[in-house]
Amino acid sequence: MSTSTGDLPGRLVLISFKLNRIIPILLLILGTVDNIMNILIFTRRSLRTNACPFYFLASSINNLFVLSVALLILLLSSGLQIDPSNLNIVL
């Protein structure tokens, strides 16, 4: 085996860097599609007789907002090396 243990930390950093660029994009796409489908389902007229679908609808809208904001910040900070907290005091 020609791989040394000194090269292992560098490889782990590279793998972590690549995963931090790919996984948030996948989560953003799949989570957005899922929440939009939930919103479409819970806005049906047949579900308006009960209060429970309104809570699920509100939860899906909130999840869509949190997903887009949180994952975009994570993608900017870890995947693209842009720190949004330096640009905006709220973040």
Per-residue model confidence as pLDDT tens for the chain (91 residues): 455 667 888 888 888 878 877 887 888 899 899 999 999 998 888 888 888 889 999 999 999 999 888 877 777 777 667 777 777 666 5
What's the domain range around 59? 24-87
Q: What's residue 90's pLDDT? A: 66
Structurally, the chain folds into a number of domains equal to 1
Q: 């806005």: which residue's tokens?
A: 43
- Asked if the structure places residue 58 within a domain, the reply is yes
CA distances for 58 relative to 10, 15, 67, 75, angstroms = 44, 37, 14, 25
- Asked if the structure places residue 64 within a domain, the reply is yes
Asked if 20 and 79 count as a contact pair (C-beta separation under 8 A), the reply is yes
Q: What's residue 21's pLDDT? A: 78
- Asked if the structure places residue 74 within a domain, the reply is yes
- Asked if the structure places residue 13 within a domain, the reply is no
Closest CA to 41 of 64, 62, 63, 57: 57
- Residue 80 and residue 89: Cα distance in Å, rounded? 20
pTM: 0.69
